[in-house]
């Protein structure tokens, strides 16, 4: 069963704006990962944050993790039309274990 919940389910913004997506989970985790999926194709790994980390950056991406609240957020700054995709969080209870995915956020960036 899916343990992750994401909000919003859908987000529509203008190019140049920032997009924030949130993810909550229920069990203890080793790490939390964010993925992007374009039009029902394969998933692309964006960023991984470990349970002992609170924030991580990669280019225009910023991920935070609050293990006390069992939640994470993904911020995409200065969004582009090419960022239009579905974004999923996924948790791993131990390193290398199966991933449990959130429900996903459909992001639309309008040019």
Partner 1 sequence: SAVISQKPSRDICQRGTSLTIQCQVDSQVTMMFWYRQQPGQSLTLIATANQGSEATYESGFVIDKFPISRPNLTFSTLTVSNMSPEDSSIYLCSVEATHLYGYTFGSGTRLTVV
Instruction: Kindly list the residues in this chain that would bind partner 1 in the complex (CB under 8 A).
Output: 1-2, 4, 33, 35, 40-45, 47-48, 88, 90, 95-96, 98-104
CA distances (Å), origin 82, targets 50, 70, 94:
27, 30, 33
Shortest reach from residue 88's CB to partner 1, in Å? 6
Closest to partner 1 by CB, 45 vs 80, is 45
Closest to partner 1 by CB, 76 vs 88, is 88
Shortest reach from residue 29's CB to partner 1, in Å? 13
29-41-28 Cα angle (round to 5): 5
From the CB of residue 25, how many other CB atoms can be counted at a distance below 10 Å? Answer: 23
Shortest reach from residue 67's CB to partner 1, in Å? 18
- Write the CB contacts of 1 (distance below 8 Å, at least 6 apart in sequence): none
């Amino acid at each position: 069963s899916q343990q992750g919940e994401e909000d919003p389910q859908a987000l529509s913004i203008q190019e140049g704006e920032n997009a924030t997506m949130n993810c909550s989970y229920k069990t203890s985790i080793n790490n939390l990962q964010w993925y992007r999926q374009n039009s029902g194709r394969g998933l692309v790994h964006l960023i991984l944050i470990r349970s002992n980390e609170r924030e991580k950056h990669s280019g225009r991406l910023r991920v935070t993790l609050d293990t006390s609240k069992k939640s994470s957020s993904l911020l995409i700054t200065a969004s582009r039309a090419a960022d239009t995709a579905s974004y999923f969080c996924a948790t791993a209870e131990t390193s290398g274990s199966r991933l449990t995915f959130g429900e996903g956020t459909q992001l639309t960036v309008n040019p």
